[in-house]
Amino acid sequence: MKLAVELRGAGPGLVMLHGWGLNSAAWSPLLPHLARRFRLALIDLPGHGRNRAAAVTPSLAGWANAIADVAPPGSAWLGWSLGGQVAMAAALAGHDIRRLVLVATTPRFVAAPDWPCGVPAEELAGFAGALARDHDKTVRDFLSLQLRGDARAATLLRTLRALLAESPAPDPAALATGLDILATTDLRAQLPALALPALVLAGERDRLTPAAAGRRLAAALPDGRCRVFAGAAHAPFLTHEEEFAGAVASFLDGTEVAA
C-alpha cells in the first residue's frame, strides 16, 4: 500500500515532511502562506497520521524511498527535523528533487567528540526507554522539549497538541524506528554529494538541533545557505510564520537575499 498524500494550493511542487511523533497537521498555521504560491504535497511519515497503517521498510532509506514513490516529481522538499533527514536521504538516493529546505535539521542528531552540537546519546536513549513504557507520554514530553526556550512555548504547545489530536496517534513501532534513525544516522560524509540548492532554517534557541548544527550543515553543502530565526526554538515556522514563509518562497523562487 502506497503512502497517502494530501495536495493543496497551486504552483511549483513543494513536498512537506514533519518531524518525529507528529503529522502534517503541525503545518496548519503555515499552509495559508504557502498554498498561495505552491502546490503543497503533505505526506505523513510512515506510521504517522493518515499513514499510520502503512507497511514500509523500517529504516531511513525505506522511509525516504516510500515517500519519493508518491511525491510529485521535480518538487522541492521541505523537511523538519527527522523529516529533514528523510529529505536528505531521498536526495542522496537520486530521487527527482529540485531543491531542499531543511528546518531544524542536522546531519547527525547525537553528539560526538567531533560533533558537539547534538543531543547527548544518553538523553536520546532515555526517550527510547520511556517510549517502551508509555509512548503517549513520551510524545507529549518530546513536544514540550521542541518548544522549550521560546517565549511563547506554553501557548504554542497547546496549539500544537490541539492540531495533532485531530489525527490518529502514531504507531509505536514507527516511533521506535524514528528514534533509531535519529540515534544512528550520520550523513556528514555524504553532504558533499548533495549538490542541489539547499536552505537550512534554524532556531536561535533550539535545544534539540542547535543553530550551530544548522550552520555547519549549510557550510558542508556544496550549495547551502543558512538562516537563523532570532528567539525561535525547534519550530520556527510556528513562531515566525510570515518571515519563515517568505524565506521559503524567496529561496524556491531563486530570489532570496543573502543574510
Q: What mean pLDDT is reported for the chain?
A: 91
Would you call 28 a catalytic residue per the annotation?
Answer: no
Q: Determine, yes or no, domain membership for 179.
A: yes
* Residue 130: pLDDT band with limits 50, 70, 90: confident
Average pLDDT over residues 140-146: 75
Q: Is pLDDT of 236 > 60? A: yes
- In whole angstroms, give the CA distance from residue 44 to residue 41: 10
HSE-CB for 106 with a 13 A CA cutoff: 25
Burial class (CB in 10 A: 0-12, 13-18, 19+), 99: buried
Q: Tell me the pTM.
A: 0.93
Structural domain range at position 142: 6-253
Q: Determine, yes or no, domain membership for 48.
A: yes
CATH number, domain of 208, equals 3.40.50.1820
Would you call 250 a catalytic residue per the annotation?
Answer: no
* Residue 162: pLDDT band with limits 50, 70, 90: confident
Which of the pair, 133 or 61, is modelled with greater confidence? 61
Q: Determine, yes or no, domain membership for 258.
A: no
pLDDT tens sequence across 16-55: 999 998 899 999 989 999 999 999 999 999 999 999 988 8
Average pLDDT over residues 72-82: 97
Q: Determine, yes or no, domain membership for 196.
A: yes
Q: Determine, yes or no, domain membership for 119.
A: yes
* Residue 110: pLDDT band with limits 50, 70, 90: very high
Which of the pair, 60 or 208, is modelled with greater confidence? 60
Give the helix ranges, DSSP H, for the chain: 31-34, 60-70, 82-92, 121-133, 135-147, 153-164, 172-184, 211-220, 236-239, 241-253
Counting residues of the chain whose pLDDT is more than 90, the rounded percentage is: 72
Catalytic entry in 24, 33, 44, 81: 81
Q: Determine, yes or no, domain membership for 115.
A: yes
Q: Is pLDDT of 126 > 90? A: no
Average pLDDT over residues 169-178: 91
HSE-CB for 206 with a 13 A CA cutoff: 30
- Residue 239's pLDDT is 86
Q: Determine, yes or no, domain membership for 259.
A: no
Distances from the Cα of 236 to the Cαs of 30, 93, 96, in angstroms?
Answer: 10, 28, 27
Would you call 234 a catalytic residue per the annotation?
Answer: yes
Catalytic entry in 33, 48, 95, 234: 234
* Residue 257: pLDDT band with limits 50, 70, 90: low
| Number of structural domains in the chain | 1
- In whole angstroms, give the CA distance from residue 180 to residue 71: 24
Q: Determine, yes or no, domain membership for 201.
A: yes
Cell numbers for 107, please give them. 546531519
Q: Is pLDDT of 141 > 80? A: no
Buried residues in 72-87 as b, exposed as e (16+ CB within 10 A): eeebbbbbbbbbbbbb
- Residue 258's pLDDT is 47
